[in-house]
Structure 1
Amino acid sequence: MASRGVLGVFLLSVLPLLCLELRRGSPDLGIKDFILLCGRIFLLLALLTLIISVTTSWVNSFKSSEVYLKEEEEEEKNEKMQKLVRNKQQEAQSEQAIRYIENVLKPHQEMRLKKLEERFYRMSGETWKLSNGHKLGGHEESVLENASQASSETSNREAAKRRNLAQPVTKLSRPPEQPIQKKVLELPEEPPKTADEVVTVALRCPSGSVLKRRFFKTCSSQVLLDWMMKIGYHTSLYSLSTSFPRRPLEVEGSWSLEDVGITVDTVLTVEEK
């Protein structure tokens, strides 16, 4: 396109020059005049090409700057849109996390704590704490009056029955119930360090404390559970497991510590079931 424009400008510039030279009254041009005419034409052509190249470069630079500015604006718009989309996604994810915590995790934790509390009260024999109880006041006086009337009626009926009976009826007294004796946990005496066939067992508790004690290898493995219960961890809620490799410890009364696999100093972990 630029070469075509330069050629057109050259032709347009040559025609008026030829017309001027012809009008001067010298139809027969010499070599010198022809050379001068060609030089003028080439100078004019060079000037025109310089002007055209400068203007085209300036126009192209202006267009490129405009295109660059447009691209920058589009990139900024795209970045803003991406930021908005990311913020919306983060807000949606945070709302979903909050809903999951409130609707799933909290009820699950509350149910688990409630079950543990019920189990603890049942094991300790304090099931009365699980009941809601009775509210005092209100109809308390009417209840007491009804109870007194019922007791008076029953006493009158019993007196009439006693009068009609020929022989007095003696009630059989029940033998007093024997109180349930709780099992007292007694651990064997701790052997000295210098004794033979002795192992040291350490219990790592959930509270973070570590308790150590020495036992004979021939001692019953049940003594480990008794020791755990004596320090406050009931076998219905907690169990023992080895540290490495991690596996639950199988304990039976007929097995000794050596039969269970405790032949050297061992660390056991108290875990919640």
Structure 2
Amino acid sequence: METGLKGKKVIVTGGGSGIGRSAVLAFAAEGASVLVADINGDGARSAAEEARAAGVAAQAVVGDLSAPEVVAEVVRTAVEELGGVDVLVNNAGIMDDMSATADVGDEMWERLIRVNLTAPFLLTRAVLPIMKEQGSGSVVFTASEASLRGGASGTAYTVSKHGVMGLVKSTAVMYRDHGIRVNAVAPGGTATNIAVGTPTSVDGPTALGRYANGIGRIAAAEELAAAIVFLASDAASNVNGAILPVDNGWSAV
């Protein structure tokens, strides 16, 4: 089935490495123009350059996406340099240190919620009027196995990713009559460079360790990118409000 992505304009956050970078290159291979947004300038510029080498237009915007001015720059650049926004991939995120609830500090809590939930909310809110006006659009989030269960990560990360799941479902319902689809992939163990902090106590890691046997094999970033491209594409034209586990069956254990 045709993906319908050729000529589309795509924003990928966290596109400088890992799943995001693989998604950038997968969209470029489909003929889509790509804006790479990342806090890592070298990674963002390198991914954009590689996308251009594949024959598509690509831009890089560097900054913290939880800052409204950076969100505004991303959207402005997509509109002015690429010609619009057809697809938004909210992929950027950070991990916690696996802390249990009583051990989560204010700084960690606020940072995880700000980066993993507030930032994709701000960017989604910013692109929805564009998609609504054109009568079409697709938003794909990188959720997590931690969106589906309580035993996959620390409290702060788990809560942030459960929030992402709520944002996906609410937005899908609110905007489906405008031709806008909103979905998410839920990765299990994936080979990326996302860092896990040093645990502050034994409670979190000790409890989580009991469930580690269900993880299965570690996925390559390209496997997640393929699922993201599918959800963004015409091949998933009637898929809306879905959280797609890409976890080798971990969610089924």
Give the number of the structure whose alpha-carbon radius of gyration is greater.
1
TM-score range (shorter-chain normalised) is under 0.3
Normalising by structure 1, we get a TM-score of 0.17
User: More strand per residue: 1 or 2?
Assistant: 2
User: Of Structure 1 and Structure 2, which has the larger fraction of its residues in helix?
Assistant: 1
For CA contacts below 8 A with separation 6 or more, give which structure has more relative contact order.
2
